[in-house]
Structure 1
Amino acid sequence: MAVISESIKDMKGYKLHVVKTEKFKTNTIVWKMKAPLTRENVTKRALLPYVLQSSSKAYPSTSKLRSYLDELYGANLFVDVSKKGEYQVLSFSLEIANEKFLSDPEPLLKKGMQLMAEILVNPFSDNASFDKDTVEKEKRTLKQRIQAVYDDKMRYSNFRLVQEMCKDEPYALHVNGEIDDIPEIDEKNLYEYYQQAFGEDEMDLFIIGDVNEEEVRSVADELLQFSPRTPKLVEPLANGKVEEKTVKDQEDVKQGKLNIGYRTNVLYGDQDYYALQVFNGIFGGFSHSKLFINVREKNSLAYYVASRLESHKGLMMVMSGIEFNNFELAVKIIKEQMAAMTAGDFTDQEIDQTKAVIENQLLETLDTARGMVEVLYHNVVSDKTVSLDEWLQGMRNTTKEEIVQVAKKVELDTVYFLTGLGADK
């Protein structure tokens, strides 16, 4: 039996994804739109969803919009901006009660879809520009979001690693854009960009819940119609020879942040992607991993240490917090764990344990409707079709030899260390 049954239909200018499930007492509507990351548009894109969710023609203030959400049995509306490989993705999510579980037979799903369409296609504007006050308010908030990365040294050090590692690549751009761009954005040029995005982006509508697929399709077709487009695809950059480099920054911090970036040379949907997942789990992904045991537990070198994959860019990041004077030793031990992986120095028990944790983690993600959307959206970003059953089967079937082979593909690119003022460089 399929883990998730997803129906996909081509609509006018977008794709409709319906997942019929009785798992939830709510229905979830998610609109996603993606475009290549560009220096020119990254900040406008980061601002746009927040302007759209704050008001619309029918609800010209945030309080009116929120009051209407309360009327819809406390429906939840939220937006998000994320980076998937070389793309910037805007997400609009609406979670609304399923009327089947209410005494009132009001057609809530239809009303939720109408509200989503209202926010997307009827913004509070004069059809040439957004409301000036709304844009200025959201610009201030965006500035705070960007500033927050600099204030949170764990996030900042990861951002700096990516900046250094992916110089001259779109992926080096921060998902929230550039603080210096914000003053140049106004209600007119943002509205122009809004029209461009809805004319060019690859767009997908996900409906998750106990719904009637035909009814959903009919309502979507009535509410949302856009011009046809060919999605702009980013060609993966050919990796040249990777030369290991070390970058150190000094700031007024109490704890050093050691972040190491690797090129995996494997992308989501590749044949050896499943082996890469298991490799990452054994290397640094979980609390039973080599990094956790050897860097943190045995040698007491790190306050935290873990590795994670960026599946659409072919990167693996190691993040750790260490004392300033433990830099050399921590790097040495991390490199030793990688050498152990390429030498096949791990047990069948480690493989089995890692596979079990990956499977549990995936199934846990599918316990929420938004988690389901995130998992299914991998196929849109990668332009591949991998069902969850294939994914699970591929991961379960991964052999030790395949894990060793994928480990040998992984290349250390950049070691980044955020150290204290006055600490030895």
Structure 2
Amino acid sequence: MAGAQSVRPHSQEGEQTSDFQSRFLHDGRLWVHVHSSKRYKSSTLDLFLPTVLQPHRATGLALISRLLERGTQSYPSLQQLNRHTDLLYGARYFAATQRHGAFQTLRLHFSALDDRYLPRSEALLRKGARLLSDALHRPHAPSGVFDPDWVEQEKTGLLNTLAASLADRSNRAQRRCLQIMCASEPYRLSADGEAVEIKAFDEHTLTALLRDHLEQGVGHLYVCGDIDVDRACKLGEQFPPRTDVARKLFVGTEHTDRPARQVVEFGEASQGRLIVGHRSGIHLAHGDYPALLLLNLILGGDIYGRLYRRVREQEGLCYHIASYVEPMAGFLFVEAGIEAIHLQRVLNHIVDELHTLARQGPTSEELDNARRISLHRLEGAADHRDALIHFDLLRRLAAAPVDRLRLVDEVRQVQVESVRDVARHIVRDTAYLLAPGLTESAGGGV
């Protein structure tokens, strides 16, 4: 295995990054990350409980997140829960599962107006922390298990959600490409689970799964607003300590010598949707990651990218084409809306542009443009709490020592030769086309 990633407890009692001041509680089982700022009118709490994506378990956690939104022992109905948040000056609460590379996180969120805008202090964040703690540790569970009627309703709801997601041809193509490309890796799994697994769950199995998940790994509580670290840590103390030894999460990416694959499947679509997956072996913790970011922008991560100019504007072979990076695994994807008859020509252009970058590197103008866009995005993230939280959580799950401002400095230092060298590491794995029609799927090597 290569590109190993892990969640490791830190030896120090805290740390400071460009965006968060962090401390750990409960012997490292819960990290509290504080972004102290007065620029926002609201304060937020975000609790993330990560685990490696696993078949069956991912579906169960997706169901659990839906159940946690419906009530607690103190507020045993959705109506009572909504009334409670309304009384907290229209506070917002939700639970969800999210995918971060090969990890699935159970996320609980609370946001409320900052106390300085209220007639008197209401300690809304303290009440929010209590709500999140109750939702996790004291959910509405008559007879000690989830309400069976709720379970059946949420099973139906999740089925509908999955069906709607797969009805979107872009989502379907991206998911199928990952399933084929990563057949034995957790990256193939969705944080929303699989429809065929839903019927296997009931109130007993879901209750047991929640208890087990609460004992896994390390939790991360992000606190953003006009609050200092000491007050934020007191909020973290509202979450009961876990007694089991934390389980280490370890994920790698495969590096194989197998030939590239080409798969065509047919379905209801007005036009073909092409997804081409490449492996680079360069993830967020890798020293060449800044160069990979810039290579992606030069290739197709922006409308000025090579693929857009050549395949869309010059050749007229697609309706849309773009590239993007999966930072946790070092995957580079190219997606395009094309007519099926143009498949091979589009694939040839993608190969040609990557080979040209590997031989010659980008022009100085291309590199400067890509650097400007990347710096604008990284520096602009300071204005968006969700973006700050997302990046910080990714780097922790990837065990990456780089923080946002250090990444800014490293992007500034990338040279033409660095991008050229990264291009030489990129290898096509799977080209997947979802084509209009009702014919059975077909596949073959490229």
Equivalent residue, structure 1, for 2:343: 327
1:162–1:172 contact (8 Å) kept in structure 2: yes
CA RMSD of aligned residues (A): 1.9
For residue 303 of structure 1, give the secondary structure of its aligned residue in structure 2: strand
Matched, 1:336 2:349: no
2:340–2:435 contact (8 Å) kept in structure 1: yes
Residues 334-354 of structure 1: CA deviation (Å, up to 9, x unaligned): 222112211225221111111
Matched, 1:73 2:89: yes
1:291 aligned to 288, 294, 307, which one?
307
1:7 aligned to 3, 16, 21, which one?
21
Q: CA separation in 1, counterparts of 2:254 and 2:314?
A: 39
Equivalent residue, structure 1, for 2:123: 107
Q: CA separation in 2, counterparts of 1:345 and 1:391?
A: 21
Q: CA separation in 1, counterparts of 2:387 and 2:96?
A: 14
2:133 aligned to 117, 123, 131, which one?
117
Q: How does 1:153-232 map to 2 (within 5 A)?
A: 153-227=169-243, 229-232=245-248
Q: CA separation in 2, counterparts of 1:345 and 1:7?
A: 39
| Stretch deviating more after TM superposition (230-239 or 43-52) | 230-239
Q: Structure 1: any 5+ residue segments left out of the alignment?
A: none
For residue 134 of structure 1, give the secondary structure of its aligned residue in structure 2: helix
Q: How does 1:322-401 map to 2 (within 5 A)?
A: 322-401=338-417
Residues 154-182 of structure 1: CA deviation (Å, up to 9, x unaligned): 11011111111111222212221111111
1:34–1:201 contact (8 Å) kept in structure 2: yes
2:361–2:420 contact (8 Å) kept in structure 1: no
Stretches (4+) displaced over 4 A: 422-425
Matched, 1:268 2:284: yes
Equivalent residue, structure 1, for 2:3: none
For residue 285 of structure 1, give the secondary structure of its aligned residue in structure 2: coil
Q: CA separation in 1, counterparts of 2:272 and 2:185?
A: 27
What amino acid is the match of 2:243? S
TM-score w.r.t. the length of structure 1 is 0.95
Cα offset, 1:238, TM superposition: 4.0
2:65 aligned to 43, 49, 52, which one?
49
Cα offset, 1:422, TM superposition: 7.0
For residue 275 of structure 1, give the secondary structure of its aligned residue in structure 2: helix
Q: CA separation in 2, counterparts of 1:127 and 1:359?
A: 54
Matched, 1:149 2:200: no
Q: CA separation in 2, counterparts of 1:175 and 1:255?
A: 27
Q: Structure 2: any 5+ residue segments left out of the alignment?
A: 1-15
Q: CA separation in 2, counterparts of 1:298 and 1:104?
A: 63
1:250 aligned to 234, 259, 266, which one?
266
1:76–1:95 contact (8 Å) kept in structure 2: yes
1:128–1:192 contact (8 Å) kept in structure 2: no
For residue 343 of structure 1, give the secondary structure of its aligned residue in structure 2: helix
Cα offset, 1:228, TM superposition: 5.0
Cα offset, 1:104, TM superposition: 2.8
2:362–2:420 contact (8 Å) kept in structure 1: no
Matched, 1:98 2:114: yes
What amino acid is the match of 2:396? V
Q: CA separation in 2, counterparts of 1:267 and 1:388?
A: 15
For residue 419 of structure 1, give the secondary structure of its aligned residue in structure 2: strand
TM-score w.r.t. the length of structure 2 is 0.91
Q: CA separation in 1, counterparts of 2:438 and 2:137?
A: 54
Q: CA separation in 2, counterparts of 1:252 and 1:97?
A: 45
In percent, how many aligned pairs have the same letter?
A: 24
Q: CA separation in 2, counterparts of 1:212 and 1:420?
A: 56
Q: CA separation in 2, counterparts of 1:201 and 1:47?
A: 20
Equivalent residue, structure 2, for 1:302: 318
1:314 aligned to 317, 330, 333, which one?
330
- 1:52–1:412 distance in 2 versus 1, CA, 3 Å: same
Q: CA separation in 2, counterparts of 1:229 and 1:348?
A: 52
- 1:127–1:363 distance in 2 versus 1, CA, 3 Å: farther
Q: CA separation in 1, counterparts of 2:283 and 2:272?
A: 31
Residues 2-25 of structure 1: CA deviation (Å, up to 9, x unaligned): 983412111123111111112211
Q: CA separation in 2, counterparts of 1:32 and 1:387?
A: 19
1:14–1:226 contact (8 Å) kept in structure 2: no
Number of residue pairs matched by the alignment: 424
For residue 333 of structure 1, give the secondary structure of its aligned residue in structure 2: helix
| Stretch deviating more after TM superposition (124-133 or 206-215) | 124-133
